[in-house]
Structure 1
Amino acid sequence: MTKITTLLFDLDGTLINTNELIISSFLHTLDHYFPQSYKREDVYPFMGPTLHETFSSIDEERTEEMVARYRAFNIDNHDALVTEFDGVFETIRTLKENNFKMAIVSTKMRDTVIKGLKLTNLYQFFDVIVGLDDVTHPKPHPEPLQKALEALGSKPEEAIMIGDNYHDIDGGKNAGTLTAGVAWSIKGKEFLQTFHPDFMLDTMPELLDIVKVGAAEK
């Protein structure tokens, strides 16, 4: 196998725990338009696709105002509801110290990505961020991954795309990278395994073994 030099990370549900923020944002928005029609589990399928994809499938005529309502609530409640997953900071710091090239590839807007990274003190480790507003086609289209790889000077075969949703796994496959799912995905480990990622992480520090960072360096 080609030596792995590059790691592409999804953000929400992978590095930072935005599940409560996202669920609350969806329920706040949907309850305004369709009172008492949606429960928590009803919005799980909406986590991953872009907001425009989700809201246009619900009410095409009011998509823009629904997106605006969602984002306003999301920003207002961001810092109170976002936390980091166990082992993420230490793992990312170790990868950086070992000179791995790393990027965030997200379907969120760039400013919101940066907000989450700064809140969890991860911003310092990422030189490249590809957000929704940086591309024409979001994941699982290969464009966001290709843009990140180009900015990092990396080849697809040297990279792993790590994420909590099928958009990440399929996006990696479409771009020619290896892929890794995370078992702490709100959709469940079994769901992700149906998309056949090359690796499945039960904890974030397991990534260090995959990319051959020695035990002494952990």
Structure 2
Amino acid sequence: MTIQAVLFDLDGTLLHTVPDLAAAVNAMLVDLGKPVLSEETVAVYVGKGAENLVNRSLTGSMTEKASPELYAQAMANWQNHYTHINGNHSVFYDGVKEGLALLKQAGFKLAVVTNKPERFTHPLLERTGIAHYFEVVVGGDTCPVKKPDPMPVQHACRLLGVEPAQTLMIGDSVNDSLAANAAGVPCWLLPYGYNEGRSVHETQCDGIVNTIEEAAQRLIGTRTSP
């Protein structure tokens, strides 16, 4: 079945957002009297939503949870800082704007499916000038669950009016591939993002592309080839 729609992850896929996320995390940690973290460490903590980012930053663990009282204080603090920082230092990866333009011009339906809360997703897309490319935006709090659960991917397909088999997910992590595969959506991964410290070459997916522009060219090529 021909691909009609493309779903994109946001952080680590379209935009390098760790500088913003790390700045907000470290402002939070300073306010709490805790040592700051390197951007490299914060990058490993990114991928499963703001709740996990804050917990991991507090505990230094991928799985441990901070006390409810500390977590609540830290989350409110982080949200306050991130609201003001969001987009200040984020940059596009090579080929993103070119790829989005190619796909839009070719008539593909485009959506963002991210674990970032909607209150931060929409301003970031607007601030970076790419909001107009996307017919649908599914944030980390749009559905009751986040990726790697398939529900956000399924929800995006319904809103776009396409079948899963007509849809492609492009992301940078195992969260994207697991969510897409469980929803019956093929998934391509990019090698430059935030796969919780792991190589995408170790992650099961349907293909690896170096840039969004390369992905666009491949998709358009499948439409025009005999």
Q: TM-score, normalised on structure 1? A: 0.89
1:189 CA displacement:
9.6
Amino acid aligned to 1:71? Q
> CA, structure 1 residues 54+122, in 2 after alignment: closer, same or farther (shift >3 Å)?
closer
Residue identity matched to 2:66: D
Distance 1:88 1:38, change over 3 A: closer
Query: Could you tell me how far 1:86 is from its partner in structure 2?
Result: 1.9
1:122 Cα offset (Å)? 0.7
- How far apart, in 2, do the equivalents of 1:176 and 1:155 lie? 9
Tell me the SS of whatever aligns to 1:90. Answer: helix
Measure, in 1, the Cα distance between the counterparts of 2:196 and 2:207.
15
* Partner residue, 1:162: 170
Q: Which residue number in structure 1 is paired with residue 67 of structure 2?
A: 60
Alpha-carbon distance change, 86 to 182 in structure 1, aligned in 2, over 3 angstroms: same
CA distance 1:18–1:55, shift in 2 (3 Å): closer
Counterpart check, 1:14 vs 2:23: no
Q: Which residue number in structure 2 is paired with residue 91 of structure 1?
A: 99
CA distance in 1 between counterparts of 2:203 and 2:188 reads 10
Looking at structure 1, the residues matched to 196 and 216 of structure 2 have their Cα atoms a distance apart, in angstroms, of 22
Q: Does 1:177 align with 2:176?
A: no
Give the equivalent residue in structure 2 for 1:46.
Answer: 45
Q: Is the 8 A contact 1:159 1:177 kept in 2?
A: yes
Measured in 2, the distance between the counterparts of 1:186 and 1:141 equals 18
CA distance in 2, matches of 1:60, 1:45: 22
Deviations 1:84-112 (A, max 9, x none): 22221121111111110111101112131
For the residues of structure 2 that align with 1:79 and 1:151, how far apart are their CA atoms? 27
1:59-208 equivalences under 5 Å are 59-61=66-68, 62-187=70-195, 191-208=199-216
Distance, in Å, in 1 between the alignment partners of 2:87 and 2:38 is 23
Moved more, 123-132 or 180-189: 180-189
For 1:56-104, what per-residue CA distance to the aligned partner results, in whole angstroms no more than 9, with x for missing partners? 4341312222122112111211232122222211211111111101111
Corresponding residue SS for 1:104: strand
Q: How many pairs align? A: 215
8 Å contact 1:182–1:203 — kept in the other structure? Answer: yes
5+ long unaligned stretches in structure 1: none
Hey, what's the Cα distance between the residues in 1 that align with 2:219 and 2:144? 31
Q: 1:143 to 1:22 in 2, by over 3 A?
A: same
Matching residue of 2:3: 4
Give the superposed CA RMSD: 2.3
Percent sequence identity over matched residues?
24
- How far, CA to CA, are the matches of 2:197 and 2:219 in structure 1? 21
Deviation digits for residues 164-188 of structure 1 (CA, Å, limit 9, x no counterpart)? 2211111111111111111221449
**2:145 counterpart SS class:** coil
